[in-house]
Amino acid sequence: MKFTASVFAVTATLLATASAHVTINPPTGTSGGYSQGNFRVPHGCSGNATDQVTVQIPKDVTSVKPRALPPWTTTINMVPLDVPIQTESGTINTTVGSVTWSGGNLPDSFYEDFGLQFKLPKMNGTLYWNVYQHCVNGEWLNWTQVPGPDGKYPPNGAPAASMTVLNTTAGSSGTTPNTSEKDVKSGVAQLATSSVAQAIVVGAGALIASLL
Ligand SMILES: *[C@@H]1O[C@H](CO)[C@@H](O)[C@H](O)[C@H]1NC(C)=O
Ligand SMILES: *[C@@H]1O[C@H](CO)[C@@H](O)[C@H](O)[C@H]1NC(C)=O
Ligand SMILES: *[C@@H]1O[C@H](CO)[C@@H](O)[C@H](O)[C@H]1NC(C)=O
Ligand SMILES: *[C@@H]1O[C@H](CO)[C@@H](O)[C@H](O)[C@H]1NC(C)=O
Ligand SMILES: *[C@@H]1O[C@H](CO)[C@@H](O)[C@H](O)[C@H]1NC(C)=O
Ligand SMILES: *[C@@H]1O[C@H](CO)[C@@H](O)[C@H](O)[C@H]1NC(C)=O
Query: For 70-125, what is each residue's pLDDT tens digit?
Result: 999 999 999 999 889 888 999 989 999 999 999 999 999 999 999 999 999 999 99
Task: Kindly report which listed range (99-108, 163-172, 194-203) carries the lowest average pLDDT score.
Answer: 194-203
Q: Residues lining ligand 4, CB < 6 A?
A: 132, 140, 142
Provide the CB-side half-sphere exposure for 165 (13 A, CA). 24
- N residues, the chain: 212
The pLDDT-based confidence of 58 (bands split at 50, 70, 90) is very high
In a domain, 6, yes or no: no
C-alpha 32 – ligand 3 centre gap (Å)? 9
Higher pLDDT: 181 or 33? It is 33
pLDDT of residue 178: 41
DSSP bridge partners of 116: 37, 66
Q: Compute the distance between CA of residue 130 and CA of residue 146 in angstroms, rounded to an integer.
A: 9
Provide the residue type at 15 as one letter.
Answer: L
Residue 151, domain CATH: 2.60.40.2230
Q: Is the CB of 177 under 6 A from ligand 6?
A: yes
The CA radius of gyration of the chain, in Å to the nearest whole number, is 20
Domain assignment present for residue 67? The answer is yes
131 found inside a domain: yes
Domain containing 139: what range? 24-168+188-205
| Average confidence score pLDDT of the chain | 80
pLDDT at residue 195 greater than cutoff 90? no
User: 168 CA to middle of ligand 3, Å?
Assistant: 8
Candidate from 52-56, 104-108, 155-159 with smallest mean pLDDT: 155-159
Is 146 domain-assigned?
yes
* Inter-CA distances, 102 with 79, 134, 178, Å: 19, 9, 53
Helix (H, G, I), strand (E, B) or coil at 74: strand
Give domain status of residue 174, yes or no.
no
Residue 196: is its pLDDT beyond 80? no
Residue nearest to atom 11 of ligand 5 (CA): 171
- Would you say residue 211 lies in a domain? no
Residue 31 lies in a domain: yes
Domain count, the chain: 1
From the alpha carbon of 178, which atom of ligand 6 is closest? Answer: 1
Q: Is residue 33 part of a domain?
A: yes
Nearest residue (CA) to ligand 5, atom 12: 171
Whether the model clears a pTM of 0.75, i.e. scores above it, the answer is no
Q: Is 173 in the pocket of ligand 5 (CB under 6 A)?
A: yes
Give a three-class secondary structure readout of 33-66.
Answer: CEEEEEEEECCCECCECEEEEEEECCCCCEEEEE
Cα 133 to Cα 23, 26, 57, 87, 199: the distances in Å are 13, 20, 15, 36, 25
Question: How far is residue 130's CA from residue 202's CA, in Å, rounded to a whole number?
Answer: 20
